[in-house]
Structure 1
Amino acid sequence: MTSEPDLRDVYAASAGRLVAQLYGMTGDFAEAQDAVQEAFARALSRPSRIRGVDNPEAWLRRVAMNIARSRHRRRALFDRIARSGRLDADDIVPPISPDHVALVTALQRLPRAIRETVVLHHLADLPVAEVATALGCTADTVKTRLVRGRRALAQHLQEIEMESSRA
């Protein structure tokens, strides 16, 4: 094949098959989906990689398999380190409280720009000036987003609390 394949067509024709194949190999459906999506993302980000490939599906399968293998090796290494006692099991995955779940749920209801601002300022503990630099906006914009975000979060958290009390 000498021309660049239309990845939309390749995706429509082969993504399901690739996920099924990777699922069979990994035994983890979410991992299979992630690996296939990452393979397509790599093809989209650097089309030269797939240009000239005779069989784009085979190329994507190989990339997805390599991604899945790399992730498996990293997970296995992490598991060995955790079992060795070099990591305290309680520090590996902190418990998630109902309040944390409610906060993340409320954050997801915010518009992206406001959510990013609130997270960087309140969760990453960055000062307003650093948030502005990270997001490419002014400090005044950050302050406005923080006010709007806190107001919206309070409302969303109240709604979540009311929903949970009804259940």
Structure 2
Amino acid sequence: MDAEEFDSFYTASFSRLVGQIHAMIGDRDEAQECVQEAFVRAWSHRRQLEKAHAPEAWVRTTAYRLAVSRWRRTVRARRDPDRALQRRESAAELSPDHVALVHALRELPEAQRRAIVLHHMCDLPVVEVAAETGVPVGTVKARLSRGRTALMSLLGDGPADDLEGVSHA
């Protein structure tokens, strides 16, 4: 992948990936930072990405892993209470449906949340979700079923009816 192809790849997928990671982790600023860092790493691995079938999946997985690592470090360091206020202020810029959905997604177990986001917001087939998460297809189906049921009870007839509607927010 040359510089021009990489720039096109970045331009076409950055916002979508930020929306997807945001839905997975619940923090838009953190999602932007993790996706940016994942693209920096992708640049240094661009020759391997050229051979990969799904370079966007590689960047998404890398960004998600970065987010998990950062979260673990943050938990150990005990976040400053002012940081929670900053997150609430940045969330005010998003649509109410998006905020409600991300809040409801936070209530799900991590594995269900990730499966829901990958399948419904990233439009990945169940087989690809299984490959990206490293679990059997049946496990992904069970997580999707349980996650959707939980979201319906958390959201009622609200934004859960249109998961795809917030993928680019």
Question: Relative contact order (C-alpha < 8 Å, sep 6+): which is higher?
Answer: 2
TM-score normalized with structure 2 length: 0.43
Larger Rg: 1
